[in-house]
Structure 1
């Protein structure tokens, strides 16, 4: 079984309360630590990598992001998915080829740009082109940004998710969805659902799985917790 097939299989036949938990490494060292802890796969956070490289979230140049993902993927022997934000304006085929060159097996692609939601049908058409270029070589996680862009109606998230799944997305990611909305999303979305969690805050991954999450990611949360721990450990001047 190929690495992408292994990664895809991890998303299916999950029991309630047993979501796939994918921590987010921001460099090669953190990736190795997380794999040594026992996680079967990883999902890089764009915000975490941006911070590690000295950029604001959303301001990492594409070349630097792909280089960072390459270092992480080469450092471990488990599948790695990469957060590629809105695709950096790259044509679908170039985006796919550059991602495959990193060694990653999947990616997040969000449906907003500059804080503004994209037209969902146009975005679905673009995702179709990405899927056509990738074939079955990549796992596509389509981020749905309605909740983080001020649209609280879950039906709009469900409608976007349906378009993206029809376009070939393997999973959808309604980032920022309130926990009490997850059962409704689970009923309305025909496919795996990625849910964002905050380390040590709010519902646990197990609880999110019981509410409908297929997989749980943390964005830059683990990095921020690690930096807080470092600040506490560092000797005072």
Structure 2
């Protein structure tokens, strides 16, 4: 994949928007660095999204602890690594106040992204989810910032109940509906895995819905999720964690057994180099 191919941000933005309105759900894998982004682009994926957790792991940090300036540098690097559209996992937008969420959208767009997500999780264990009124104001501020751009920035609003021990479908749907009214382009409730819950979410809104794949309990494939009306399937940190899992298994074999069987599954250096140059 030749990153030197001239594709403007506006062209990427229009492509990314159009992907959300096809009949079949499109796959949105989440690379964690430039190399993984380039490899995914070579594999034929049509768009990419960052993973806050995967990026944090590359820096030896926990999720949602990476400073904003480093996130923007990461987005800029991924946005120029391939000709593909890039959306950014912005967590809670780096602050509680609505204006900070709006600023995060403007900054990530300046870094080259054509989409981004704002979630209603606070990052605080004792108070994990914003009150719905504040959560809506945060999405509204982000939507206003997105609409001020000169290209169609796809704003995703995330309802984080299920990832924070609050599997309340009714509240989750109320939040997604309110986020839709506040201007979100895509709606996302990571952690919903049952066909019944996914169907309920999709039927309750009239915006494209993203489903997080790679979670325990999600047994549905791309075809069935498309039949349910889901428009986008993202991997979150699953690919990064899969890579780390392979590293840990290989390291345990090396340390504990003194054997090298893990090499059987390794790609050759020449093959990786060829993929990165293609």
Which secondary structure state, in structure 2, belongs to the residue aligned with residue 117 of structure 1?
Answer: coil
Query: Are the equivalent residues in 1 in contact too, given 2:155–2:184 (CA < 8 A)?
Result: yes
Contact 1:41 1:79 in 2 (8 A): yes
Is the alpha carbon distance of 1:41 and 1:224 closer, same or farther for their aligned partners in structure 2, counting shifts above 3 Å? same
TM-score (normalised: structure 1)? 0.90
In the other structure, the counterpart of 1:95 is: 104
Cα deviation, residue 146, structure 1: 1.7
Partners of 1:92 and 1:182 lie apart in 2 by 27
Tell me if 1:188 matches 2:220.
no
1:151 shift after superposition = 2.8
* Cα deviation, residue 86, structure 1: 0.2
> What residue ranges of structure 2 are gaps of 5+ in the alignment?
1-9, 259-278
Mark the runs of 5 or more structure 1 residues left unpaired by the alignment.
none
For 2:224 and 2:215, locate their aligned partners in 1 and report how far apart those are by CA, in whole Å. Answer: 13
Structure 2 matches for 1:168-187, cutoff 5 A? Answer: 168-180=183-195, 181-187=197-203
Map 1:7-86 to 2 at 5 A: 7-14=16-23, 18-86=24-92
Mapped to 2, the partners of 1:96 and 1:172 lie a distance apart of 16
| 3-state secondary structure, aligned to 1:104 | coil
Helix, strand or coil for the counterpart of 1:24?
Answer: coil
User: For 1:147 and 1:37, how far apart are their aligned partners in 2?
Assistant: 31
Q: CA deviation digits over 1:111-133, x for unaligned, max 9?
A: 01024111122221222122212
Q: 2:244: which partner in 1?
A: 227
Match of 1:128 in 2: 140
CA distance in structure 1 between the partners assigned to 2:189 and 2:74 by the alignment: 25
Cα drift, residue 93 of structure 1: 4.4
* 3-state SS of paired residue (2:116): strand
Deviation at 1:178, TM superposition (A): 2.5
What SS class does the counterpart of residue 98 from structure 1 fall into?
A: helix
Query: Which of 140, 158, 163 pairs up with 2:155?
Result: 140
8 Å Cα contact 2:22/2:231 also seen in 1: no
The 8 Å contact of residues 197 and 205 in structure 1, kept in 2 or not, is answered as: no
Q: Is the contact made by 2:105 and 2:116 (CA closer than 8 Å) also made in structure 1?
A: no
Q: Distance in 1 between matches of 2:191 and 2:110?
A: 31
Map of 1:119 onto structure 2: 131
CA RMSD of the aligned region, Å? 2.1
Match of 2:167?
Answer: 152
User: How far is the alpha carbon of 1:233 from its aligned partner?
Assistant: 5.7
